[in-house]
């Protein structure tokens, strides 16, 4: 039974979350708390505090309607503003390590699923068993779809494998709890990336060069922001959101004309919103609109990103892990294998932690999380997360089908 929620008015919930963000950033500038914020990054608190509110029953994502607003409005607006000043050549110069880590993350999910089933079957075979449409591997196929691509891929797997809808809620719980625990570790690691890169013996010079280039560009075009600048930025962001949704509605109906697209991510409205928003931002970066970076375009985009972080954090209720403890264990084993493989490959090819984090979240979190993680390192790196997330959407269904096949074989 769902516990009672103290605050159900979304206006109050949003006010609470934004007030928390403001308080966090205010205190992060205080000298007396400088040591605290060196240990616990501000971005991590922006994520964890809303989750504590959710756990305590003060707010609840099941009652709130903020997530659809964040996903449909804040996210595409942030993608447009944070790709507006993209140095596309600089992103390309980051080299092949980004792709290597992305595909390693995908392989980690595909192989990790059956391995998690095999390990769990040694001490609790009933947890990963089940017959016909109650078979746990069918439910875990939906997790594979989510963790390789996103929500659209997850839904496609549910339709394809017909997992018992009455038990599907347990898989949603595993998805949210496990993926968000890993998200918390990544956000913490982003604040310690220099130390992690040193341990990985990684060469992060190309990432540093891109950061410096973007900072120099921002400084070169920086000016006092005028009302006209703010109106231009607002019109580009929100007008772009409107264009993305308009074209997304048209493009998502491609299966009406080509049956080959049935049950694929290409019929997802959200997928096309992400693609169109990113394309608009990249297109603007080749025009004079790029100079709006000097008026604070990416800073306003970052505001939307932090609102996303807080609303995503609200979705994690820590107590949910207690309701399905053994299924959570299966998910944790799966995620540990995924992370372990990423760390091993990163160590071998000396890839920076940035590529590990973004490669993972482009799979596990998709477009809602990858740009957040990328921008935690630097706003100029957000496009890397977006581009890899789009690739994850494209591969999600195929990777999930392969993973489901292997999990069916591994099931007791």
Residue 35 belongs to some domain of the structure: no
Q: State yes or no: pLDDT of 347 exceeds 90.
A: yes
Residue 5 belongs to some domain of the structure: no
- pLDDT for the residue 343: 96
Q: State yes or no: pLDDT of 116 exceeds 90.
A: yes
Quote the domain boundaries for residue 183: 66-410
Q: State yes or no: pLDDT of 37 exceeds 70.
A: yes
pLDDT class of 173 with cuts at 50, 70, 90: confident
Structure tokens at 380: 């100029």
Residue 293 belongs to some domain of the structure: yes
Residue 50 belongs to some domain of the structure: no
| Averaged pLDDT score across all residues of the chain | 85
Q: State yes or no: pLDDT of 84 exceeds 50.
A: yes
Q: State yes or no: pLDDT of 398 exceeds 60.
A: yes
Q: State yes or no: pLDDT of 378 exceeds 50.
A: yes
Residue 32 belongs to some domain of the structure: no
* Number of independent structural domains in the chain: 1
Instruction: Mean pLDDT check: name the lowest of 105-114, 257-266, 351-360.
Output: 257-266
Residue 358 belongs to some domain of the structure: yes
- pLDDT for the residue 1: 39
Q: Identify which has the larger pLDDT, 236 or 260.
A: 236
Residue 3 belongs to some domain of the structure: no
Residue 262 belongs to some domain of the structure: yes
Q: Region 170-195: what's the mean pLDDT?
A: 86
Q: State yes or no: pLDDT of 318 exceeds 90.
A: no
């Amino acid at each position: 039974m769902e516990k009672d929620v103290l605050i159900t008015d979304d206006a109050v919930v949003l006010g609470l979350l934004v007030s928390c963000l403001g308080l966090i950033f205010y205190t992060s500038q205080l000298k007396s708390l400088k040591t605290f914020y060196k240990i616990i990054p501000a971005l991590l608190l922006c994520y964890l505090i809303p989750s504590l509110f959710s756990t305590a029953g003060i707010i609840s994502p099941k009652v709130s309607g903020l997530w659809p607003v964040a996903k449909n409005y804040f996210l595409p607006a942030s993608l447009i503003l944070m790709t507006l000043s993209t140095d596309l050549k600089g992103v390309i110069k980051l080299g092949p390590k980004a792709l290597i880590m992305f595909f390693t993350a995908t392989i980690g999910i595909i192989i990790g699923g059956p391995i998690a089933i095999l390990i769990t079957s040694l001490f609790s075979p009933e947890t990963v068993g089940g017959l016909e449409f109650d078979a746990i591997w069918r439910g875990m196929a939906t997790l594979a779809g989510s963790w390789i691509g996103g929500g659209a891929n997850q839904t496609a797997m549910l339709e394809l494998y017909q997992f018992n809808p009455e038990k599907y809620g347990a898989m949603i719980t595993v998805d949210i709890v496990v993926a968000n625990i890993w998200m918390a570790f990544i956000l913490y690691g982003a604040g310690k990336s220099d130390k992690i890169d040193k341990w990985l013996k990684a060469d992060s010079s190309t990432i540093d060069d891109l950061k410096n280039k973007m900072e120099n560009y921002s400084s070169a075009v920086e000016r006092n922001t005028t009302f006209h600048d703010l109106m231009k930025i607002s019109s580009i962001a929100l007008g772009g959101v409107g264009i993305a949704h308009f074209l997304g509605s048209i493009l998502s109906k491609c299966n009406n004309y080509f049956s080959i697209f049935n049950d694929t991510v290409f019929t997802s409205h959200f997928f096309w919103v992400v693609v169109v928003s990113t394309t608009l931002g990249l297109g603007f970066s080749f025009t004079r609109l790029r100079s709006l970076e000097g008026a604070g375009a990416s800073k306003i985009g970052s505001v939307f990103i932090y609102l996303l972080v807080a609303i995503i954090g609200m979705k994690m209720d820590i107590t949910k892990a207690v309701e399905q403890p053994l299924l959570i264990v299966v998910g944790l084993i799966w995620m540990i294998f995924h992370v372990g493989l990423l760390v091993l490959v990163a160590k071998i090819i000396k890839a920076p932690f940035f590529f590990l984090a973004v490669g993972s979240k482009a799979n596990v979190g998709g477009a809602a999380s990858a740009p957040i993680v990328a921008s935690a390192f630097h706003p100029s790196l957000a496009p890397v997360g977006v581009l890899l997330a789009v690739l994850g959407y494209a591969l999600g269904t195929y990777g999930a089908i392969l993973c489901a096949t292997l999990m069916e074989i591994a099931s007791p």
